Chain A
Amino acid sequence: MNSRVLIVSTSIRKSSNSLAIAHYIKARIRGAQIMDIARRWDMSGLKEELGTGETLIIVVPLYHDTISWTATAFLEELAELPFPFRNMAAIVHSGYPEAVHRSAAVDICRYFAESRGVKWLGELSPGLTSVVAGRPLEEAGGLFRNLRKALDKAAAALERSEQIPDKAAALSKRSSVPPRLLKVMGNISFAMEAKRKGLDVKRQPYSRND
Protein backbone atom coordinates (compact mmCIF):
# COMPACT_ATOMS: atom_id res chain seq x y z
CA MET A 1 0.00 0.00 0.00
CA ASN A 2 2.05 2.97 -1.21
CA SER A 3 0.41 6.18 -0.11
CA ARG A 4 1.65 9.66 0.63
CA VAL A 5 -0.13 9.63 3.99
CA LEU A 6 -1.10 6.39 5.71
CA ILE A 7 -3.51 6.47 8.64
CA VAL A 8 -3.37 3.34 10.80
CA SER A 9 -6.36 2.67 13.03
CA THR A 10 -5.10 0.52 15.91
CA SER A 11 -8.30 -0.27 17.77
CA ILE A 12 -9.02 -3.96 18.24
CA ARG A 13 -12.73 -3.31 17.63
CA LYS A 14 -14.35 -3.17 14.26
CA SER A 15 -16.34 0.03 13.55
CA SER A 16 -14.27 1.68 16.26
CA ASN A 17 -13.94 5.30 17.28
CA SER A 18 -10.34 5.14 16.06
CA LEU A 19 -11.64 4.18 12.63
CA ALA A 20 -14.21 7.01 12.73
CA ILE A 21 -11.38 9.47 13.45
CA ALA A 22 -9.25 7.90 10.72
CA HIS A 23 -12.04 8.30 8.16
CA TYR A 24 -12.62 11.92 9.12
CA ILE A 25 -8.99 12.87 8.67
CA LYS A 26 -8.58 10.76 5.50
CA ALA A 27 -11.35 12.75 3.83
CA ARG A 28 -9.31 15.92 4.43
CA ILE A 29 -5.90 14.77 3.19
CA ARG A 30 -5.40 14.21 -0.52
CA GLY A 31 -4.00 10.78 -1.33
CA ALA A 32 -4.38 9.47 2.21
CA GLN A 33 -5.23 5.84 2.84
CA ILE A 34 -6.36 3.88 5.88
CA MET A 35 -5.00 0.65 7.26
CA ASP A 36 -7.32 -0.88 9.86
CA ILE A 37 -5.69 -3.49 12.10
CA ALA A 38 -8.83 -4.39 14.07
CA ARG A 39 -8.98 -8.04 15.12
CA ARG A 40 -5.51 -8.64 13.77
CA TRP A 41 -3.53 -10.84 16.15
CA ASP A 42 -0.48 -11.32 13.94
CA MET A 43 1.45 -8.26 12.76
CA SER A 44 3.87 -10.11 10.49
CA GLY A 45 3.78 -9.14 6.82
CA LEU A 46 3.46 -5.45 7.66
CA LYS A 47 6.32 -4.44 5.41
CA GLU A 48 4.48 -5.31 2.22
CA GLU A 49 1.21 -3.86 3.46
CA LEU A 50 2.66 -0.57 4.67
CA GLY A 51 4.58 0.20 1.52
CA THR A 52 6.37 3.54 1.69
CA GLY A 53 5.22 7.11 1.96
CA GLU A 54 5.63 10.56 3.44
CA THR A 55 3.70 10.49 6.72
CA LEU A 56 2.36 7.81 9.03
CA ILE A 57 -0.53 8.83 11.30
CA ILE A 58 -1.32 6.36 14.04
CA VAL A 59 -4.73 6.53 15.69
CA VAL A 60 -4.54 4.96 19.12
CA PRO A 61 -7.22 4.17 21.68
CA LEU A 62 -6.19 4.24 25.31
CA TYR A 63 -6.20 1.14 27.51
CA HIS A 64 -5.06 1.52 31.12
CA ASP A 65 -3.66 4.99 30.39
CA THR A 66 -1.27 3.81 27.74
CA ILE A 67 -1.33 2.69 24.14
CA SER A 68 -3.40 -0.38 23.40
CA TRP A 69 -1.98 -3.87 22.95
CA THR A 70 -2.68 -3.66 19.23
CA ALA A 71 -0.78 -0.38 18.91
CA THR A 72 2.15 -1.80 20.91
CA ALA A 73 2.30 -4.91 18.74
CA PHE A 74 2.13 -2.76 15.60
CA LEU A 75 4.99 -0.52 16.77
CA GLU A 76 7.09 -3.53 17.83
CA GLU A 77 6.75 -4.99 14.35
CA LEU A 78 7.39 -1.61 12.73
CA ALA A 79 10.55 -1.23 14.80
CA GLU A 80 11.96 -4.29 13.05
CA LEU A 81 11.70 -2.63 9.63
CA PRO A 82 13.58 0.22 7.99
CA PHE A 83 11.07 2.96 8.76
CA PRO A 84 9.02 3.34 5.58
CA PHE A 85 7.83 6.92 6.25
CA ARG A 86 9.65 10.22 6.74
CA ASN A 87 7.26 11.64 9.30
CA MET A 88 4.95 10.42 12.00
CA ALA A 89 2.06 11.86 14.00
CA ALA A 90 -0.39 10.37 16.50
CA ILE A 91 -3.99 10.80 17.54
CA VAL A 92 -4.37 9.29 21.00
CA HIS A 93 -7.95 9.29 22.26
CA SER A 94 -10.04 7.99 25.13
CA GLY A 95 -13.36 8.36 26.87
CA TYR A 96 -11.88 10.35 29.75
CA PRO A 97 -12.22 14.09 29.27
CA GLU A 98 -8.88 14.90 30.94
CA ALA A 99 -5.74 14.83 28.79
CA VAL A 100 -3.62 13.67 31.74
CA HIS A 101 -4.87 10.12 31.10
CA ARG A 102 -3.40 10.21 27.59
CA SER A 103 -0.13 12.04 28.14
CA ALA A 104 2.08 8.97 28.78
CA ALA A 105 0.64 7.27 25.68
CA VAL A 106 1.36 10.34 23.55
CA ASP A 107 4.94 10.40 24.83
CA ILE A 108 5.40 6.70 24.04
CA CYS A 109 4.38 7.38 20.40
CA ARG A 110 6.69 10.41 20.25
CA TYR A 111 9.56 8.42 21.74
CA PHE A 112 9.00 5.69 19.18
CA ALA A 113 9.25 8.16 16.29
CA GLU A 114 12.24 10.05 17.62
CA SER A 115 14.16 6.90 18.53
CA ARG A 116 13.74 5.73 14.93
CA GLY A 117 15.02 9.04 13.56
CA VAL A 118 11.62 9.92 12.16
CA LYS A 119 10.37 13.50 12.18
CA TRP A 120 7.61 13.89 14.77
CA LEU A 121 4.83 16.07 13.41
CA GLY A 122 2.91 16.20 16.67
CA GLU A 123 -0.21 14.84 18.20
CA LEU A 124 -3.88 15.33 18.96
CA SER A 125 -5.21 14.03 22.25
CA PRO A 126 -9.01 14.14 22.29
CA GLY A 127 -11.16 12.84 25.13
CA LEU A 128 -14.82 11.81 25.40
CA THR A 129 -14.49 9.68 22.27
CA SER A 130 -16.46 6.79 23.80
CA VAL A 131 -19.51 8.97 23.10
CA VAL A 132 -18.74 8.81 19.36
CA ALA A 133 -19.77 5.14 19.47
CA GLY A 134 -18.27 4.42 16.06
CA ARG A 135 -20.43 6.98 14.23
CA PRO A 136 -18.94 9.20 11.54
CA LEU A 137 -17.56 12.26 13.37
CA GLU A 138 -19.54 14.52 11.03
CA GLU A 139 -22.71 13.07 12.59
CA ALA A 140 -21.49 13.01 16.18
CA GLY A 141 -22.95 16.38 17.11
CA GLY A 142 -21.83 19.54 18.89
CA LEU A 143 -19.88 17.72 21.60
CA PHE A 144 -17.19 17.08 19.02
CA ARG A 145 -17.04 20.52 17.44
CA ASN A 146 -13.60 21.14 18.99
CA LEU A 147 -12.32 17.78 17.85
CA ARG A 148 -13.50 18.34 14.26
CA LYS A 149 -11.87 21.79 14.20
CA ALA A 150 -8.65 20.32 15.59
CA LEU A 151 -8.69 17.53 12.99
CA ASP A 152 -9.36 20.03 10.19
CA LYS A 153 -6.34 22.12 11.21
CA ALA A 154 -4.17 19.04 11.74
CA ALA A 155 -5.17 17.57 8.36
CA ALA A 156 -4.25 20.82 6.57
CA ALA A 157 -0.81 20.76 8.19
CA LEU A 158 -0.18 17.04 7.74
CA GLU A 159 -1.12 17.23 4.06
CA ARG A 160 1.83 19.62 3.66
CA SER A 161 4.04 17.44 5.90
CA GLU A 162 4.06 20.24 8.45
CA GLN A 163 3.86 20.19 12.21
CA ILE A 164 0.37 19.95 13.74
CA PRO A 165 -0.28 23.50 15.00
CA ASP A 166 -0.17 23.97 18.79
CA LYS A 167 -3.63 25.49 18.54
CA ALA A 168 -5.02 22.28 17.05
CA ALA A 169 -3.31 20.16 19.70
CA ALA A 170 -4.72 22.37 22.47
CA LEU A 171 -8.19 22.38 20.90
CA SER A 172 -8.23 18.58 20.71
CA LYS A 173 -7.66 18.36 24.46
CA ARG A 174 -10.50 20.72 25.31
CA SER A 175 -13.48 18.68 26.46
CA SER A 176 -17.02 19.94 26.01
CA VAL A 177 -18.14 18.16 29.18
CA PRO A 178 -16.51 18.72 32.58
CA PRO A 179 -15.43 15.48 34.33
CA ARG A 180 -17.83 15.88 37.27
CA LEU A 181 -20.78 16.35 34.93
CA LEU A 182 -19.73 13.34 32.85
CA LYS A 183 -19.53 11.30 36.06
CA VAL A 184 -23.13 12.15 37.00
CA MET A 185 -24.50 11.73 33.47
CA GLY A 186 -22.57 8.51 32.86
CA ASN A 187 -23.58 6.93 36.16
CA ILE A 188 -27.26 7.71 35.64
CA SER A 189 -27.11 6.31 32.12
CA PHE A 190 -25.27 3.11 33.21
CA ALA A 191 -27.66 2.57 36.13
CA MET A 192 -30.69 2.92 33.88
CA GLU A 193 -29.23 0.55 31.31
CA ALA A 194 -28.37 -2.03 33.99
CA LYS A 195 -31.92 -1.80 35.38
CA ARG A 196 -33.44 -2.16 31.92
CA LYS A 197 -31.33 -5.25 31.18
CA GLY A 198 -31.72 -6.64 34.70
CA LEU A 199 -27.95 -6.82 35.24
CA ASP A 200 -26.20 -7.16 38.58
CA VAL A 201 -23.36 -4.97 37.31
CA LYS A 202 -21.54 -4.84 40.66
CA ARG A 203 -21.29 -8.63 41.06
CA GLN A 204 -17.99 -9.69 42.68
CA PRO A 205 -17.16 -13.24 41.59
CA TYR A 206 -13.69 -13.11 43.15
CA SER A 207 -14.30 -11.25 46.37
CA ARG A 208 -12.05 -12.18 49.27
CA ASN A 209 -13.48 -12.07 52.75
CA ASP A 210 -10.59 -10.58 54.72
Chain B
Amino acid sequence: MHAYMIDGTCKKRELSSETIAAVLKNNGWNTRMLTVRNASVLPCTACNGCSERRIGECVIQDDGAEIAEHAATSDLFIILSEVTFGGLSSLAKRAFERTLPNILPYFTMYRKELHHVLRYPRRPHMLFLGWLPEPDEQQEILFHRFTERSAVNFMTTHKTVVFHGCHIQEQLEEVSREIYQLSGGGL
Protein backbone atom coordinates (compact mmCIF):
# COMPACT_ATOMS: atom_id res chain seq x y z
CA MET B 1 0.00 0.00 0.00
CA HIS B 2 1.24 3.39 -0.96
CA ALA B 3 0.95 6.52 1.17
CA TYR B 4 1.90 10.01 0.08
CA MET B 5 2.54 12.66 2.68
CA ILE B 6 2.79 16.41 2.24
CA ASP B 7 4.63 17.94 5.16
CA GLY B 8 3.55 21.57 5.13
CA THR B 9 4.89 22.50 8.55
CA CYS B 10 7.13 25.54 8.72
CA LYS B 11 9.72 23.77 10.88
CA LYS B 12 10.49 20.27 12.12
CA ARG B 13 8.61 19.49 15.33
CA GLU B 14 8.27 16.58 17.71
CA LEU B 15 5.43 15.42 15.49
CA SER B 16 7.33 15.15 12.25
CA SER B 17 6.64 13.51 8.94
CA GLU B 18 9.41 11.02 9.80
CA THR B 19 7.54 10.00 12.98
CA ILE B 20 4.35 9.44 10.99
CA ALA B 21 6.24 7.60 8.25
CA ALA B 22 7.69 5.24 10.89
CA VAL B 23 4.18 4.44 12.13
CA LEU B 24 3.10 3.81 8.56
CA LYS B 25 6.09 1.57 7.88
CA ASN B 26 5.31 -0.55 10.95
CA ASN B 27 1.88 -1.13 9.42
CA GLY B 28 3.19 -2.13 6.03
CA TRP B 29 2.85 1.18 4.22
CA ASN B 30 5.34 2.42 1.69
CA THR B 31 5.43 6.18 2.20
CA ARG B 32 6.69 8.91 -0.07
CA MET B 33 7.08 12.33 1.51
CA LEU B 34 7.28 15.86 0.22
CA THR B 35 8.61 18.30 2.79
CA VAL B 36 7.50 21.58 1.30
CA ARG B 37 9.83 23.81 3.31
CA ASN B 38 12.84 21.96 1.84
CA ALA B 39 11.48 21.69 -1.69
CA SER B 40 10.68 23.92 -4.59
CA VAL B 41 6.89 24.01 -4.74
CA LEU B 42 5.53 27.01 -6.56
CA PRO B 43 1.90 27.98 -6.14
CA CYS B 44 -0.76 26.94 -8.64
CA THR B 45 -1.41 30.00 -10.78
CA ALA B 46 -4.74 28.69 -12.14
CA CYS B 47 -3.20 28.97 -15.62
CA ASN B 48 -5.45 26.20 -17.03
CA GLY B 49 -2.39 24.48 -18.48
CA CYS B 50 -3.60 21.23 -16.90
CA SER B 51 -6.88 21.42 -18.78
CA GLU B 52 -5.55 22.64 -22.12
CA ARG B 53 -1.83 22.20 -22.72
CA ARG B 54 -0.82 19.06 -20.80
CA ILE B 55 -4.17 17.69 -19.83
CA GLY B 56 -4.22 16.19 -16.34
CA GLU B 57 -0.62 17.23 -15.59
CA CYS B 58 0.78 20.32 -13.96
CA VAL B 59 2.79 22.44 -16.36
CA ILE B 60 4.95 23.87 -13.56
CA GLN B 61 8.04 21.69 -13.57
CA ASP B 62 9.20 21.74 -9.95
CA ASP B 63 9.02 19.41 -6.94
CA GLY B 64 5.27 20.03 -6.73
CA ALA B 65 4.62 18.46 -10.13
CA GLU B 66 4.45 15.01 -8.50
CA ILE B 67 1.58 15.95 -6.16
CA ALA B 68 -1.21 15.40 -8.68
CA GLU B 69 0.22 12.03 -9.64
CA HIS B 70 0.38 10.79 -6.04
CA ALA B 71 -3.04 12.21 -5.24
CA ALA B 72 -4.27 9.96 -8.04
CA THR B 73 -2.26 6.82 -7.39
CA SER B 74 -1.74 6.59 -3.62
CA ASP B 75 -4.02 4.69 -1.24
CA LEU B 76 -3.57 7.22 1.52
CA PHE B 77 -2.98 10.95 1.04
CA ILE B 78 -1.69 12.70 4.15
CA ILE B 79 -1.35 16.40 4.86
CA LEU B 80 0.63 17.49 7.88
CA SER B 81 0.36 21.15 8.81
CA GLU B 82 0.28 23.62 11.62
CA VAL B 83 -3.34 24.60 12.23
CA THR B 84 -3.26 28.16 10.95
CA PHE B 85 -6.28 30.33 11.79
CA GLY B 86 -8.24 27.06 11.68
CA GLY B 87 -6.94 26.08 8.24
CA LEU B 88 -3.72 24.87 6.68
CA SER B 89 -0.40 26.69 6.80
CA SER B 90 0.50 28.56 3.64
CA LEU B 91 3.16 25.93 2.83
CA ALA B 92 0.65 23.08 3.10
CA LYS B 93 -2.00 25.03 1.22
CA ARG B 94 0.40 25.89 -1.57
CA ALA B 95 1.16 22.19 -2.06
CA PHE B 96 -2.47 21.11 -1.68
CA GLU B 97 -3.56 23.49 -4.45
CA ARG B 98 -1.26 21.64 -6.84
CA THR B 99 -3.84 18.80 -6.95
CA LEU B 100 -5.83 20.96 -9.37
CA PRO B 101 -4.94 18.79 -12.44
CA ASN B 102 -7.06 16.01 -10.89
CA ILE B 103 -10.20 18.11 -11.20
CA LEU B 104 -12.18 18.37 -14.44
CA PRO B 105 -13.96 21.54 -15.51
CA TYR B 106 -17.25 19.60 -15.71
CA PHE B 107 -19.82 19.76 -12.92
CA THR B 108 -21.70 17.10 -11.06
CA MET B 109 -24.05 17.05 -8.07
CA TYR B 110 -22.56 15.37 -5.00
CA ARG B 111 -24.32 15.32 -1.63
CA LYS B 112 -26.86 17.69 -3.20
CA GLU B 113 -24.11 20.27 -3.86
CA LEU B 114 -22.50 21.36 -7.09
CA HIS B 115 -18.96 20.03 -7.45
CA HIS B 116 -16.39 19.56 -10.16
CA VAL B 117 -16.11 16.07 -11.61
CA LEU B 118 -12.89 14.38 -10.51
CA ARG B 119 -10.53 13.06 -13.15
CA TYR B 120 -10.06 9.65 -11.53
CA PRO B 121 -12.79 7.38 -10.20
CA ARG B 122 -10.37 5.94 -7.63
CA ARG B 123 -9.50 8.27 -4.75
CA PRO B 124 -7.20 7.83 -1.75
CA HIS B 125 -8.41 8.05 1.82
CA MET B 126 -7.28 11.41 3.24
CA LEU B 127 -5.59 11.92 6.57
CA PHE B 128 -5.23 15.47 7.87
CA LEU B 129 -2.81 15.95 10.73
CA GLY B 130 -2.92 19.37 12.31
CA TRP B 131 -0.54 20.72 14.93
CA LEU B 132 -1.29 23.34 17.56
CA PRO B 133 1.08 24.45 20.29
CA GLU B 134 -1.77 24.13 22.81
CA PRO B 135 -5.48 23.23 22.72
CA ASP B 136 -7.62 25.82 20.96
CA GLU B 137 -11.21 24.68 20.60
CA GLN B 138 -12.23 27.29 18.06
CA GLN B 139 -9.35 26.55 15.71
CA GLU B 140 -9.88 22.81 16.06
CA ILE B 141 -13.56 23.07 15.14
CA LEU B 142 -12.62 25.16 12.12
CA PHE B 143 -9.90 22.71 11.09
CA HIS B 144 -12.34 19.81 11.28
CA ARG B 145 -14.86 21.75 9.19
CA PHE B 146 -12.28 22.66 6.58
CA THR B 147 -10.95 19.10 6.31
CA GLU B 148 -14.50 17.73 6.07
CA ARG B 149 -15.11 20.14 3.17
CA SER B 150 -11.87 19.04 1.51
CA ALA B 151 -12.87 15.39 1.74
CA VAL B 152 -16.28 16.24 0.25
CA ASN B 153 -14.53 18.06 -2.59
CA PHE B 154 -12.38 15.01 -3.25
CA MET B 155 -15.41 12.75 -2.79
CA THR B 156 -13.53 10.50 -0.44
CA THR B 157 -13.28 9.37 3.16
CA HIS B 158 -11.06 11.12 5.64
CA LYS B 159 -9.80 11.33 9.17
CA THR B 160 -8.58 14.46 10.95
CA VAL B 161 -6.41 14.53 14.05
CA VAL B 162 -5.26 17.73 15.73
CA PHE B 163 -2.12 17.30 17.80
CA HIS B 164 -1.22 19.57 20.67
CA GLY B 165 2.36 20.32 21.50
CA CYS B 166 1.99 18.69 24.92
CA HIS B 167 0.04 15.49 24.08
CA ILE B 168 1.89 14.16 21.05
CA GLN B 169 2.29 10.58 22.26
CA GLU B 170 -1.40 9.92 23.04
CA GLN B 171 -2.50 11.38 19.76
CA LEU B 172 0.13 9.50 17.85
CA GLU B 173 -1.42 6.33 19.24
CA GLU B 174 -4.76 7.48 17.83
CA VAL B 175 -3.13 7.93 14.42
CA SER B 176 -1.49 4.50 14.75
CA ARG B 177 -4.89 2.92 15.41
CA GLU B 178 -6.33 4.69 12.38
CA ILE B 179 -3.46 3.56 10.17
CA TYR B 180 -3.75 0.01 11.55
CA GLN B 181 -7.44 0.00 10.60
CA LEU B 182 -6.68 1.37 7.14
CA SER B 183 -4.11 -1.39 6.74
CA GLY B 184 -6.88 -3.94 7.18
CA GLY B 185 -6.09 -4.74 10.80
CA GLY B 186 -9.31 -3.51 12.25
CA LEU B 187 -11.57 -4.23 9.31
Interface, chain A (partner B; CB < 8 A) = 12-13, 39, 41, 63-70, 72-73, 75-76, 79, 96-98, 100-101, 103-105, 107-108, 111-112, 115, 179-180, 182-183, 186-187, 190-191, 197, 199-208, 210
Contact = CB atoms under 8 A, between A and B. Distances in A.
Given A182-B114, A197-B52, A70 B120 contact: no
A111 B106 contact: no
Contacts of B96: 64
B145 A107 contact: yes
Nearest to B72: A206
A106 B122 CA distance: 31
30 contacts: A64-B97, A64-B99, A64-B153, A65-B149, A66-B150, A67-B87, A69-B43, A72-B84, A72-B85, A72-B90, A96-B113, A104-B87, A104-B142, A104-B145, A107-B145, A108-B87, A115-B85, A180-B109, A183-B109, A183-B114, A186-B105, A190-B105, A190-B106, A191-B106, A199-B55, A201-B51, A206-B73, A207-B120, A208-B72, A208-B73
Contacts of A201: 51, 55, 104-106
Given A69-B94, A111-B138, A199-B55, A64 B150 contact: yes
Contact of A104 (B46, B84, B146): B146
B142 A111 contact: yes
Looking at chain B's contact residues, is the secondary structure mostly helix, strand, loop, or mixed?
mixed
B69 to A, nearest CB: 5
A96 B142 CA distance: 21
A203 B56 contact: yes
Interface string B51-69: 1100111000000000011
Given A75-B85, A76-B84, 15 more contacts: A39-B45, A64-B96, A65-B149, A66-B88, A72-B87, A72-B90, A97-B114, A100-B113, A101-B149, A108-B146, A203-B55, A204-B119, A206-B56, A206-B73, A208-B120
A111 B93 contact: no
A146 to B, nearest CB: 18
B89 interface: yes
B85 A66 contact: no
A181 B119 CA distance: 22
B149 A73 contact: no
B19 interface: no
Contacts of A69: 43-44, 90, 93-94, 97
Contacts of B94: 69, 73
A206 B142 contact: no
A13 B113 contact: no
Contacts of B120: 204, 206-208
B45 A66 contact: no
Contact of B139 (A39, A111, A199, A205): A111
Contacts of A107: 86, 142, 145
Given A108-B146, A202-B104, A204-B119, A63 B90 contact: no
B71 to A, nearest CB: 9
Contacts of B87: 66-67, 72, 104-105, 108
A96 B113 CA distance: 9
A66 B52 contact: no
Nearest to A208: B73
A73 B90 contact: yes
B150 A186 contact: no
